[in-house]
């Protein structure tokens, strides 16, 4: 199969492209090499052996049409990621993530390409699944600035205000995006579903949880928390952990994410529909756990729990991996201790411009 991987020169996309190549697929990459995540390449951009690289922006219909020539399926990884700096990032998120996806889908329809694997995200869930001891399963009320300032980080029950117990979210959990990035990732799924319904194509959205591993970008406000912690430790500083460090997450290794994409590409696509899958380890850890494990693996100073917070962050979001296991045959293989030991010395992507 000939596959186009958009964003295939980025952190996750490059691992996906190599996994496809190693499985015997012909792989073409379309990547704009945007300066927010890519450093200058004086000798030209890095190219994986056997992977064709086309430099172009997914928002550019001409570049997309050229990249789609002769392609059987598309794996759409191109996106602006992370919580962002502030509200001024909104146009960039909407432009790259949503306009770019719309341009790609329109071009796929014109080219008669009916198979899409989309890089989704767990951020569409907002706060995860919660239960109140009195009212049962409830949506978590938005966290108030006054509570966060006072160090009250757990979301309250919207009916009685009591502290909630968190649980795993399944793919049928109603979406509740709570920041600009999350809103654009949900919009990508809606656009893909509309494309599938109109064209008869099939789309899979892989909702990645907290991805880490070799070649993460360093020293950028859009990097994942594991890279932020490692950059601090490399500089001899204690990793700074926001809130009280008790935020529950599911950290999944990038090789497992690439394996999930390969499984989705090989599965029978849903017809005229979009099907979502959590891509997660199934074993939750706190943000503080990640900081302590990485500090231990690198022999660095213990994490500093700051009590600081970012509006738009969620408290707990932990996934159920059951659907991906049952329908795609995907199960994460890298556990956190092994993954962190590797990540402690793995190469990172150089700092962007």
Tokens of 264: 């989705």
Instruction: Give the whole-angstrom CA distance, residue 272 versus residue 202.
Output: 5
Residues whose CB is less than 8 angstroms from the CB of residue 196 and which lie 6 or more positions away in sequence, other chains included: 116, 202, 203, 270, 272, 273, 274
Residue 245's alpha-carbon distances to 89, 292, 307, in angstroms, are 26, 10, 8
20 close to 90: Cβ distance less than 8 angstroms: no
Catalytic residue selected from 181, 208, 212, 277: 181
Neighbours of 56 (CB within 10 A): 18
- Going by the DSSP 8-state scheme, the letter that residue 320 receives in this structure is -
Rounded Cα gap, residues 26 and 38, in angstroms: 24
Residue 117 sits at the vertex; the CA angle it makes with 171 and 320, to the nearest 5 degrees, is: 25
**Is 222 an active-site residue?**
no
- Residues with Cβ within 8 Å of 158's Cβ and at least 6 positions away in sequence, in order, are 138, 139, 140, 141
Tokens coding 175: 């979406």
List active site positions.
Answer: 181
């Amino acid at each position: 199969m000939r596959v186009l991987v958009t964003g295939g020169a980025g952190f996750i996309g490059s691992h996906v492209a190599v996994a496809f190549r190693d499985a015997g697929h012909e792989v073409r990459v379309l990547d704009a090499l945007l300066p927010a995540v890519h450093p200058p390449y004086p000798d030209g951009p890095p190219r994986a052996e056997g992977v064709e690289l086309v430099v172009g922006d997914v928002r550019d219909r001409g570049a997309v049409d050229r990249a789609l020539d002769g392609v059987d399926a598309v794996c759409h990884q191109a996106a602006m990621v992370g919580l962002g700096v502030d509200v001024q990032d909104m146009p960039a998120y909407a432009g790259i993530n949503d306009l770019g996806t719309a341009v790609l889908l329109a071009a796929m329809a014109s080219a008669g390409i009916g198979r899409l694997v989309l890089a989704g995200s767990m951020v569409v869930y907002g706060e995860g699944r919660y239960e109140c001891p009195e009212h049962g399963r409830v949506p978590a009320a938005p966290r108030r600035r006054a509570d966060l300032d006072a160090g009250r980080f757990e979301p309250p029950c919207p009916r009685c205000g009591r502290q909630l117990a968190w649980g795993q979210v399944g793919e049928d959990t109603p979406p509740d995006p709570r920041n600009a990035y999350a809103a654009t990732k949900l919009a990508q799924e809606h656009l893909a579903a509309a494309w599938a319904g109109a064209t008869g194509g099939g789309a899979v959205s892989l909702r990645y949880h907290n991805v880490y591993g070799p070649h993460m970008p360093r020293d950028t406000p859009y990097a994942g928390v594991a890279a932020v912690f490692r950059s601090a430790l490399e500089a001899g500083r204690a990793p700074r952990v926001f809130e009280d460090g008790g935020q529950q997450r599911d950290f999944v290794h990038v090789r497992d994410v690439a394996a999930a994409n390969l499984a989705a590409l090989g599965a029978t696509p849903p017809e005229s529909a979009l099907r979502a899958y959590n891509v997660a380890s199934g074993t939750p850890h706190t943000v503080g756990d990640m900081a302590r494990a990485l500090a231990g693996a690198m022999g660095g100073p213990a994490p500093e729990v700051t009590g600081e917070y970012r509006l738009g962050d969620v408290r707990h979001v932990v996934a159920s991996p059951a659907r991906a296991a049952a329908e795609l045959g995907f199960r994460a293989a890298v556990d956190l201790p092994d993954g962190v030991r590797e990540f402690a010395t793995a190469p990172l992507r150089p700092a962007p411009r």
